[in-house]
A and B are shown apart, each in its own frame.
Chain A
């Protein structure tokens, strides 16, 4: 280094600026092409995360749930106090405990969970009661058009047409990955509407109301999401169908 050190004028190349601008560029590209990159990463990392014994990989942002709630806090209800209310346009309104639900014929689904914000969790194992079985038990009155779901968070609502509600891949889920549905995932009991985006699967399920008219659109639907939330065919998205 022949140059004199004055301290006032730094020598060398502006690597710091390049790193900074590079990050801004990669960040912008990630925003534009992140959906594709995420799919690619999930496939690339799947063999690694499957073999990871430390559990550290569960912190990586691939194939994991993000927890959303629309209220200020995560709702909480003990299994012992839990009651699912089924009412509205039915012959026999029901009030079922957690044990009552477990006593009904169980349906197991092993399907992907796709969020409308882009993330997807592969092969989630759900156990629950078919919504159709519950509605049969309550007895639909003639002219029943749809069902509305209410959450015990006091704010969230969802709905399905009767045709959607009677699909065999629409369940009232009480178990997820072999355990009782946890509080952050909407437990102890939540909906799992397999063929639709996550917002259709009402968490912290409190009540199901059968309607004689078209059901009211749900919480996110009055805020712009599609009412018929089919994965890959709604909300301007082209994800692979989940069911």
Chain B
């Protein structure tokens, strides 16, 4: 697989690679497994929630079961990737997504227009998206469980869980549409989630700190 090749192997000159590996095979697999699960919970949610769709599709019980079980399955690929030896790149990226630098704050304040901002591997929008999606998975799992197994919980919790589940769903639809929209508007970034690598020029211009990290004097090749 191309992704296991060292990023520097494509370049004749050690100091100036033509491509950088942005997402390794484990991360890409995780992303697309997640995407399929999210599309499943969201499309079944739409069928359960929108009256005319409910009537058109029918099979309500089956749709509900698919919704519940794909929702329960959602955290599994993430935990599996976090746990194993293969999760080296993912764990490193989770740490990156968690941390906000001064530049990130400036990027937010200038709405991404400040030319002096030096971004790392991820921009603040991507960081927010990652934290939001992680929160969504946990909160939806908890509230969905209260809704599904309501007999075991106080009556009021069911109302509250439905309320939270519904509003987060609305927010999630907006965020996912935004996520797909920004991906489609940046083919270089989209390709890195499909094939793993980005053009070094893109990295140098759009993610200078990450570029420096990968190519600078202290940089080391990816450990596999």
Contact = CB atoms under 8 A, between A and B. Distances in A.
B80 interface: no
Interface in B134-172: 134-136, 138-139, 142-143, 146, 150-151, 155-164, 166-170
A30 B132 contact: no
Interface in B194-221: 209, 212-214, 216, 218-219
A19 B128 CA distance: 8
A47 interface: no
A154 interface: no
Nearest to B60: A69
Interface string A1-20: 10011110011111111011
A71 B155 CA distance: 23
Interface stretch (B13-21, B25-33, B68-76, B90-98): B90-98
A157 B209 CA distance: 66
Interface residues of B, number: 61
Given A32-B160, A72-B59, A74-B54, A27 B168 contact: yes
Interface in A19-64: 19-20, 22-24, 27-28, 30-35, 37-38, 59-61
Which of B96, B139, B170 is most buried by chain A, counting CB atoms within 10 A of its CB? Answer: B139
Interface stretch (A77-85, A137-145, A180-188): A180-188
Interface string B89-116: 0000001111111111000000000000
Contacts, number: 160
B2 interface: no
A16 B142 contact: no
A124 to B, nearest CB: 14
A236 interface: yes
B60 A74 contact: yes
A34 B51 contact: no
B36 interface: no
B98 A14 contact: yes
Given A59-B50, A60-B170, A67-B54, A5 B159 contact: no
A38 B163 contact: yes
Residue among B55, B96, B128 with the most chain A CB within 10 A?
A: B55
B67 to A, nearest CB: 13
A117 B102 CA distance: 46
Contacts of A14: 98-100
A235 interface: yes
Contacts of B143: 27, 30-31
B180 interface: no
A32 B139 CA distance: 13
Nearest to B213: A7
A19 B131 contact: yes
Contacts of B175: none
Given A27-B142, A71-B61, A12 B100 contact: yes
25 contacts: A1-B102, A7-B219, A10-B95, A10-B99, A12-B104, A13-B99, A16-B98, A19-B135, A20-B138, A22-B135, A31-B160, A31-B164, A34-B159, A34-B160, A35-B156, A38-B163, A59-B170, A73-B59, A74-B60, A117-B162, A118-B156, A119-B162, A183-B55, A184-B51, A235-B155
Interface of B: 48-52, 54-55, 58-62, 95-104, 118, 120, 127-128, 130-132, 134-136, 138-139, 142-143, 146, 150-151, 155-164, 166-170, 209, 212-214, 216, 218-219
Which 4 pairs across A and B sit closest by C-beta, in order of nearness? A118-B159, A34-B160, A23-B135, A61-B166
Interface of A: 1, 4-7, 10-17, 19-20, 22-24, 27-28, 30-35, 37-38, 59-61, 65-67, 69, 71-74, 117-119, 182-185, 224, 235-237
